[in-house]
Amino acid sequence: MQVAVLNGVNLNALADRDPELYGGLGLRELENRIYRWGRELGLQVRCLQTNHEGQFVDWCHEARTWAGGIILNPGAWTHYSYGIRDAVELFTVPVVEVHLSDLAKREEWRQHSVLEDVVSARVIGKGPEGYREALVHVLEHT
Protein backbone atom coordinates (compact mmCIF):
# COMPACT_ATOMS: atom_id res chain seq x y z
CA MET A 1 0.00 0.00 0.00
CA GLN A 2 1.15 3.52 -0.78
CA VAL A 3 1.14 6.12 2.00
CA ALA A 4 1.53 9.89 1.63
CA VAL A 5 3.34 11.72 4.43
CA LEU A 6 2.71 15.43 4.05
CA ASN A 7 4.62 17.89 6.22
CA GLY A 8 3.66 21.54 6.10
CA VAL A 9 4.85 24.98 6.92
CA ASN A 10 8.21 25.40 8.72
CA LEU A 11 8.84 21.66 8.99
CA ASN A 12 11.77 22.11 6.57
CA ALA A 13 13.48 24.14 9.32
CA LEU A 14 12.98 21.49 11.98
CA ALA A 15 16.67 21.21 12.83
CA ASP A 16 16.78 24.91 13.74
CA ARG A 17 13.60 25.01 15.81
CA ASP A 18 13.47 24.74 19.61
CA PRO A 19 15.12 21.39 20.42
CA GLU A 20 13.14 21.19 23.67
CA LEU A 21 10.00 20.95 21.54
CA TYR A 22 11.21 19.29 18.37
CA GLY A 23 14.25 17.29 19.46
CA GLY A 24 16.76 18.97 17.12
CA LEU A 25 16.14 16.46 14.36
CA GLY A 26 16.27 17.71 10.77
CA LEU A 27 13.55 17.03 8.20
CA ARG A 28 15.86 14.84 6.10
CA GLU A 29 16.65 12.60 9.08
CA LEU A 30 12.97 12.51 10.06
CA GLU A 31 12.02 11.47 6.53
CA ASN A 32 14.79 8.83 6.48
CA ARG A 33 13.31 7.30 9.61
CA ILE A 34 9.79 7.41 8.16
CA TYR A 35 11.02 5.68 4.97
CA ARG A 36 12.78 3.01 7.07
CA TRP A 37 9.70 2.38 9.23
CA GLY A 38 7.60 2.24 6.07
CA ARG A 39 9.89 -0.43 4.57
CA GLU A 40 9.81 -2.43 7.81
CA LEU A 41 6.00 -2.36 7.75
CA GLY A 42 5.82 -3.23 4.06
CA LEU A 43 4.43 0.18 3.08
CA GLN A 44 5.46 2.30 0.11
CA VAL A 45 5.90 5.73 1.65
CA ARG A 46 6.23 9.05 -0.16
CA CYS A 47 7.25 12.05 1.99
CA LEU A 48 6.59 15.61 0.82
CA GLN A 49 7.08 18.99 2.51
CA THR A 50 6.03 22.48 1.49
CA ASN A 51 5.70 25.96 2.97
CA HIS A 52 2.94 26.83 0.47
CA GLU A 53 -0.63 26.17 1.52
CA GLY A 54 -1.96 25.83 -2.05
CA GLN A 55 0.72 23.25 -2.81
CA PHE A 56 -0.25 21.32 0.31
CA VAL A 57 -3.91 21.35 -0.82
CA ASP A 58 -2.89 20.22 -4.34
CA TRP A 59 -0.90 17.32 -2.86
CA CYS A 60 -3.93 16.33 -0.80
CA HIS A 61 -6.07 16.26 -3.94
CA GLU A 62 -3.42 14.31 -5.90
CA ALA A 63 -2.95 11.83 -3.05
CA ARG A 64 -6.64 10.89 -3.41
CA THR A 65 -5.67 9.25 -6.69
CA TRP A 66 -2.79 7.12 -5.41
CA ALA A 67 -2.52 6.86 -1.61
CA GLY A 68 -4.20 4.22 0.53
CA GLY A 69 -3.40 6.16 3.68
CA ILE A 70 -2.42 9.71 4.59
CA ILE A 71 -0.25 11.05 7.38
CA LEU A 72 -0.08 14.78 7.80
CA ASN A 73 1.58 17.35 9.98
CA PRO A 74 0.45 20.70 8.58
CA GLY A 75 2.44 22.68 11.19
CA ALA A 76 0.76 25.98 12.14
CA TRP A 77 -1.89 25.53 9.38
CA THR A 78 -3.40 22.93 11.71
CA HIS A 79 -4.79 25.69 13.85
CA TYR A 80 -6.51 27.87 11.25
CA SER A 81 -6.54 26.56 7.66
CA TYR A 82 -10.09 25.75 6.62
CA GLY A 83 -8.75 25.28 3.08
CA ILE A 84 -6.67 22.33 4.28
CA ARG A 85 -9.56 21.07 6.41
CA ASP A 86 -11.84 21.04 3.35
CA ALA A 87 -9.18 19.14 1.35
CA VAL A 88 -8.67 16.61 4.17
CA GLU A 89 -12.40 16.06 4.44
CA LEU A 90 -12.38 14.68 0.87
CA PHE A 91 -10.21 11.69 1.79
CA THR A 92 -11.96 8.33 1.95
CA VAL A 93 -8.86 6.51 3.26
CA PRO A 94 -7.41 6.66 6.82
CA VAL A 95 -5.87 10.05 7.64
CA VAL A 96 -3.64 10.51 10.69
CA GLU A 97 -2.75 13.96 12.04
CA VAL A 98 0.71 13.99 13.66
CA HIS A 99 2.40 16.63 15.80
CA LEU A 100 5.91 16.21 17.14
CA SER A 101 5.38 18.46 20.15
CA ASP A 102 2.82 18.10 22.93
CA LEU A 103 0.27 20.74 21.94
CA ALA A 104 -1.59 20.45 25.27
CA LYS A 105 1.46 21.87 27.04
CA ARG A 106 1.92 24.80 24.67
CA GLU A 107 0.15 28.10 23.88
CA GLU A 108 -3.63 28.07 23.98
CA TRP A 109 -3.97 28.80 20.26
CA ARG A 110 -2.13 25.54 19.44
CA GLN A 111 -4.65 23.50 21.36
CA HIS A 112 -7.30 23.88 18.70
CA SER A 113 -7.03 21.91 15.47
CA VAL A 114 -9.43 22.63 12.60
CA LEU A 115 -8.67 19.09 11.41
CA GLU A 116 -9.44 17.10 14.52
CA ASP A 117 -12.95 16.04 13.53
CA VAL A 118 -12.09 15.16 9.92
CA VAL A 119 -9.11 12.87 10.61
CA SER A 120 -9.21 9.18 11.60
CA ALA A 121 -6.65 9.50 14.38
CA ARG A 122 -4.27 11.99 16.00
CA VAL A 123 -0.78 11.27 17.37
CA ILE A 124 0.52 14.17 19.42
CA GLY A 125 3.66 14.84 21.44
CA LYS A 126 5.47 11.61 20.68
CA GLY A 127 8.28 13.15 18.61
CA PRO A 128 9.43 11.33 15.45
CA GLU A 129 8.04 8.02 16.81
CA GLY A 130 4.60 9.53 16.32
CA TYR A 131 5.00 9.05 12.56
CA ARG A 132 5.73 5.36 13.12
CA GLU A 133 2.58 5.06 15.21
CA ALA A 134 0.66 6.80 12.41
CA LEU A 135 2.03 4.32 9.83
CA VAL A 136 0.89 1.42 12.02
CA HIS A 137 -2.54 3.01 12.37
CA VAL A 138 -2.86 3.33 8.60
CA LEU A 139 -1.75 -0.28 8.14
CA GLU A 140 -4.25 -1.56 10.67
CA HIS A 141 -7.17 0.44 9.32
CA THR A 142 -7.11 -0.44 5.64
> For binding to ligand DQA (CB under 6 A), which residues are involved?
10, 73, 75-76, 78, 99-101, 110
Give catalytic status of residue 99 as yes or no.
yes
Name which of 56, 53, 51, 78 is nearest 4 in CA terms.
56
- Choice among 80, 99, 112, 137 that is catalytic: 99
Q: Report, in Å, the least distance between residue 22 CB and ligand DQA.
A: 7
Q: Report, in Å, the least distance between residue 88 CB and ligand DQA.
A: 14
Closest CB to ligand DQA among residues 40, 102: 102
Please report, for residues 13, 21, 23, 30, 73, the alpha-carbon distance to residue 119 in angstroms, rounded to integers and kept in the order given: 25, 23, 25, 22, 12
Name which of 6, 4, 20, 13 is nearest 84 in CA terms.
6
Closest CB to ligand DQA among residues 1, 133: 133
Residue 60 contacts by C-beta under 8 Å, 6 or more apart in sequence?
Answer: 6, 70, 72, 84, 87, 88, 90, 91
The alpha carbon of 22 is separated from its chain's Cα centroid by a whole number of angstroms, namely 14
Q: Report, in Å, the least distance between residue 65 CB and ligand DQA.
A: 26
Cα 71 to Cα 45: distance, rounded to the nearest angstrom = 10
Q: Report, in Å, the least distance between residue 42 CB and ligand DQA.
A: 26
Closest CB to ligand DQA among residues 102, 142: 102
Closest CB to ligand DQA among residues 25, 136: 25
Catalytically active residues are 22, 99
